[in-house]
Amino acid sequence: MSENLNGAAIEQIATLAKSAVGFQVVKVDHDDNTLAPTVLLGFDPRGDGNGLVDLRPMLERWRVAPERCIGTATVTTLQSFIDLVNRHKSEDSVVFAKTAWPGPALTAVIDYHGLDHVPAFAKHRVQYAFPITDEFKAWADQDGKPMSQTEFAAFIEEHAPELASPMPEEVSEFGEGGLFKTAIATPAKLIELSRGLEINVGAKVKNAQTLQSGEGEIIFVEEHLNAKGEKLTVPGLFMVALPAFVDGGPVRIPARLRYRVREGSVVWFYQLFRWKQYLRDRVVADLEIVQAETVLPVYEGTPES
C-alpha cells in the first residue's frame, strides 16, 4: 500500500499525526449525584486547539440503546392503562387524575420524584383520556334542547336500551316523596308515551295541566272533531343508565322530562340532573380501581409539565 503513496501524501499523514499529539481524554471527578458517575471531556493543548472539548455529542453517535425512557404512551381502555403501568412502574411511580368534566384523564408518571427528594426526569408517562361513548354523547348533546313531538318520540324509541327502571333508593331520593315530588317512569311507560305521541302527531292540544302527583296530563283533540281527544300522562322524571366511557362501568342519571305548549303544539325537552357530577363519581371510582390494582399513590390534579 505504501508503494502507492507519493511523497506529498506521506507528508500530509505525518502532519496530521503530529497535530494529534497531546490530545487527551480527561475523566472529571465530582460529587454531584445528579450527574453521570464519570464525565468524559477531551483536552486539546495545542496553541490553535479548542481547549476542553465535550465528547458527549461524539459518543451519542455510537449509542446502541436509549439512555432513558422518554415519552407518553396513550391507551384507550382503563384495563390497558392498569396493565401498562404495572409493566413499567417503580417504587417512585405515581398516578394523577383529572376527575372533572370536560376531559377527565389519568396520567401515570413512571419516573416520578422519589421520597428521598432527589429530583427525577418525570418524562416517562402513560395516559388514559376516558373516551366518551356514542350513546352518552347523544344524551349530552341533546340535553335541554327543544324537540318537536315527532323528534322526541323518535329519540325515545332510538335510545330505549339506555332507559332504566328506578331503584328503590332512587325512588326515595328523587320520586314523589323525594327531591322532585313526582313519579319516576319505567322504560315501558316512556315507550308507551312515545307511541302515544306518534299517534297524536298533527293533533292540537286541548288541555295541559300538572297533576297532584307531579306528572303532567295532556289532552289532544283533532281539529275537525268536537271530541275529548286522546289523554296522555307525562312522567316528570325517568332514569338513564349507560356506560359513559368506552368499556367503562355504567352511570345512572335522573332526567327531568319537560314540555311546553305553543299555539296548540307541544315542544319537548329533557334535563339530565347534575350529569357532570355523576361522571366525576365514575372517574373517582375508576381511580380507586387503578389504585387497588397498581398499588401506587394517586392524586387528583396534573403532574409538573
Closest of 105, 121, 101 to residue 113, by C-alpha: 121
What backbone torsions phi and psi does residue 145 show, to the nearest 5 degrees? -90, 135
Domain's final residue, options 28, 60, 92: 60
Residues 124 and 171 in one domain: no
Question: Residue 73 — very low, low, confident or very high, per pLDDT cuts 50/70/90?
Answer: very high
Give yes or no: residues 126 and 150 share one domain.
no
81 and 39: one domain? no
Reported as a single tens digit per residue, the pLDDT across 267-285 is 889 999 999 999 999 999 9
In a shared domain, residues 86 and 101: yes
Query: Is the residue at 65 inside a domain?
Result: no
- Say how many domains are in the chain: 3
Quick one: average pLDDT of 48-76?
Answer: 80
Burial class (CB in 10 A: 0-12, 13-18, 19+), 182: buried
Judge if 144 and 127 occupy the same domain. no
Residue 66 in any domain: the answer is no
Q: Indicate whether 105 and 217 sit together in one domain.
A: no
Mean predicted lDDT score pLDDT of the chain? 82
> Would 76 be classed as within a structural domain?
yes
pLDDT at position 209 is: 53
Same domain, 32 and 113: no
pLDDT of residue 191: 87
Task: Tell me, yes or no, whether 198 and 258 share the same domain.
Answer: yes
| For range 48-52, the mean pLDDT | 63
Cell of 121: 426526569
pLDDT at 235: 82
pLDDT at 171: 94
What integer pLDDT is reported at residue 8 of this predicted model?
A: 62
- Show the cell assigned to 256: 327531568
Residues 163 and 146: beta-carbon distance below 8 Å? no
In a domain, 305, yes or no: no
What is the model's pLDDT at position 213?
A: 52
Q: Do 192 and 263 belong to one domain? A: yes
Q: What is residue 211's predicted lDDT score, i.e. its pLDDT?
A: 47
The pLDDT of residue 225 is 37
Q: Is residue 219 part of a domain?
A: yes
Return the pLDDT at 187: 94
Sign of CA dihedral 128, 131, 136, 138: positive
Return the residue matching grid coordinates 495545542: 46
Give the C-alpha separation, 302 to 97, whole Å.
7
Q: For residues 49 and 64, what is the distance between their CA atoms, to the nearest angstrom?
A: 30
Q: Are residues 94 and 126 in the same domain?
A: yes
Q: Which residues contact 191 (CB under 8 A, 6 or more apart)?
A: 156, 157, 160, 163
Output the CA–CA distances (angstroms, integers) from residue 266 to 57, 95, 152, 163, 189, in the order listed: 74, 50, 10, 22, 19
Range of the domain at 220: 134-273
Over residues 19-43, mean pLDDT: 71
Q: Are 138 and 159 in contact (CB under 8 A)?
A: yes
Q: Which of 180, 165, 123 is nearest to 252 (CA)?
A: 165
For residue 59, list its beta bridge partners.
none
Q: pLDDT of 199-255, one tens digit each?
A: 455 555 555 555 455 555 555 444 433 344 556 677 889 999 999 999 999 999 999
Give me the pLDDT at residue 1, please. Answer: 47
Residues 245 and 146 in one domain: yes
- What is the mean pLDDT of the segment spanning 45-50? 60
Q: Is residue 33 part of a domain?
A: yes
The answer to whether residues 192 and 156 belong to one domain is: yes
CA distance 50 to 71: 36
Instruction: Write the CA distances from 181 to 42, 260, 275, 297, integer angstroms.
Output: 83, 19, 20, 43
| pLDDT band of 92, cuts 50, 70, 90 | very high
- For 132-163, the pLDDT digits (tens) are 999 999 999 999 999 988 898 899 999 999 99
Q: Treating both helix axes as pointing N-terminal to C-terminal, what angle do 78-88 and 275-294 enclose, rounded to 10 degrees? A: 30
pLDDT band at 125 (very low <50, low <70, confident <90, very high): very high
Window from 83-92, 98-107, 114-123, 136-145 with minimum mean pLDDT? 114-123
- Residue 106's domain is classified under what CATH number? 3.30.720
Burial class (CB within 10 angstroms; exposed 0-12, middle 13-18, buried 19+) of 128? buried
